Structure 1
């Protein structure tokens, strides 16, 4: 039996992506419910994926109420790597889809936005760029309405001045214009742009810039800016916000 299953009981599969699979599990010693993120190792002889190493090293150094907690890292005999996280009910995208009344509750939207910004400020104050902020990477505890930043696979430490880095980071819909235009020098504003896009999505219940390509997204950004200058209804903020 793999080492992870000696300590943790797998309950059900709750997600899957290019990184691997996520299971809901239980710590057999404490009965605590956890999330088990299985990282796929395509070629074990080449070691662990750089994104997983980066995520582990960053999360080991971070402790904040609005950042998901990494509790354990387990390498199994089956050549698999498991990251053990605290368990949260669902992500922001699913929350918006299942709670249509959410967007009409200004107090709750502001509470969520405040928590997201607190998590981002903590990251930036510790010289960490998340670089992949989107509703799917924001996890929610429904009982307490707590929001936590998750999935730090693309996160990266930065210095001042910022050195040359790749612009191919965030999901395109939430990517800042300078990244869409190919800039290789950027800093904390790219995360702030993503937060703005998420705020608009919480209010509208749909993405702000759902382009088919990078150039299409750029056109949508400039179209939105031009319309907002002219006082168009395209402005996404409701009056009560």
Structure 2
């Protein structure tokens, strides 16, 4: 017994509670006094420190062992995934996203035409070789050498695997291999998207059809929001439809989970500009599912209008259009939100809401729901569940059954872009043809004008050459203006240059077709001939007689106008061109020659 009691005392002494030890020891022996209590207390503290160190060491060992076990398990999982065909760069970063799946083989599908183009992906239509069933293959673009890029891609896979709803695109599988550097996500093929249907001028949605589309859209979003997932890119091109009238939400590339603790700020650079809510435009990094409800409101209005209701070119313009449509928020909004860019984008003018005027043709219940969804204050937009329970879906006409929706030919945003590009190219081609024809017409008219100007200038030069028949002497032409205003040459050369002057003679064609010398007014004789006879022909005449000899003498004309070089016709009848005085002089000259030479030459 004593041993047992002593053991009990010793056990109590080494217990982790020093207070109990002090009390027990005080009751059993009071002769030890305070010094004994102090000694015992110090021993207890020392024991406590040893126990704590032991616990810490044991916890470290256990944590290290746990981490080692986790690491080994993770390596084992990666090895298993690599063995079934997943690439190592994917299993090392995103093993959880593909856990339990086996990659599909690329040769199992026949890739056809491209049917979609996104910021981070391209979508192709493909046929499964074995069954002939159509699928949509989404090729995700990323850098397999950047772990963050792989995690971004893996997040979409993880989110899609968590969702299971008839109005959400279901991920059927993943195509890749150990040697592949790309990934294809396999989805069910959908014949249409809302962007393709809305843009068609031959399609006008009825109110019953719009309600059917909106109810399916809100049902799919409700499923996402209840599982803590924001889509963050709701727009008409990401809302798909098949020939059975079933609507499905696609493209979860920007989707993310809802942050409740706000420890990790979210990016505001999400949602396509025309569907982006005002809080994101003002830089909010703490938001929730209400961003999707704003985008749903934009899609809702677009189904009625046939075009986007808010179509800004920049973020500033987009926010300005929002304020003009929905009205400026009250002052309390700016104090409560404290958004990063609120001061920068706060409008200087207070706008009244013009939503009801813009949507005057909408049903009243539709306008009420639209005003709720397009509330500038995110807290007033409600939820997808409250939108489904709104009056809009409970009044006539009721939403039609998806199977009763019209059957359309395949219409996608990609088809619209191709048609727009082809039409734009045709218009540009016609404009180029018109511009080319106009340039040719201008060129032809310019050439004709140049020819006309050349003809005018040539005739003008000819007339000037006739009237201004200048003689160049050492590079100079000496001209003298006569009394009649005509220009004639002032002879400055000696008699030896007479033949050179004669060779430069210009002639005028008369009315009968004969070429005659030009008469220059203001001379001493009635006719002043520019041409002079040769020196040898006039050597036998005296100076006085030579002055009276006219160029009308045939021998004179023949000798003087030797036209072997000039090639100008000099055939004319002098007698017909002379007046009475000229004939008398000619007769006198003939008489003199007859008396001297014995015959008329």
- TM-score (ref. length: structure 2): 0.37
Matched, 1:66 2:167: yes
Matched, 1:101 2:203: yes
Cα drift, residue 217 of structure 1: 0.9
Q: Specify the SS of the correspondent of 1:102.
A: coil
Q: Show CA shifts across 1:54-111 (max 9, x none).
A: 11110011110000011001214341111001110121100111264333x0000110
Q: Show CA shifts across 1:156-188 (max 9, x none).
A: 011434452111111111111111111111111
Query: Which structure has the higher relative contact order (CA within 8 Å, separation 6+)?
Result: 1
Name the residue aligned to 1:17.
Answer: 118
Measured on the aligned residues, the alpha-carbon RMSD in Å equals 2.1
Aligned residue among 186, 192, 195 for 1:84: 186
Task: Please state which structure has a larger fraction of its residues in helix.
Answer: 2
Q: CA separation of 1:140/1:218 partners in 2, compared to 1, >3 Å: closer, same or farther?
A: same
- Partner Cα distance (2:262, 2:219) in 1: 22
Greater Cα shift, 187-196 or 18-27: 18-27
Cα drift, residue 150 of structure 1: 0.5
Matched, 1:36 2:137: yes
2:144–2:150 contact (8 Å) kept in structure 1:
no
Cα drift, residue 50 of structure 1: 3.7
1:162–1:187 contact (8 Å) kept in structure 2:
no
1:38–1:83 contact (8 Å) kept in structure 2:
yes
- Partner Cα distance (1:128, 1:236) in 2: 34
Structure 2 gap segments, 5+ residues each: 1-103, 328-350, 367-601
Name the residue aligned to 1:157.
Answer: 257
Q: Specify the SS of the correspondent of 1:216.
A: helix
Structure 1 gap segments, 5+ residues each: none
Cα drift, residue 234 of structure 1: 1.7
Cα drift, residue 28 of structure 1: 2.2
- Partner Cα distance (1:158, 1:230) in 2: 33
1:109–1:202 contact (8 Å) kept in structure 2:
yes
Name the residue aligned to 1:26.
Answer: 127
- TM-score (ref. length: structure 1): 0.89
Q: How many residues align?
A: 236
Name the residue aligned to 1:238.
Answer: 362
Q: Specify the SS of the correspondent of 2:269.
A: coil
Larger radius of gyration: 2
Q: CA separation of 1:73/1:108 partners in 2, compared to 1, >3 Å: closer, same or farther?
A: same
Task: Please state which structure has a larger fraction of its residues in strand.
Answer: 1
- Partner Cα distance (1:82, 1:101) in 2: 33
Name the residue aligned to 1:115.
Answer: 216
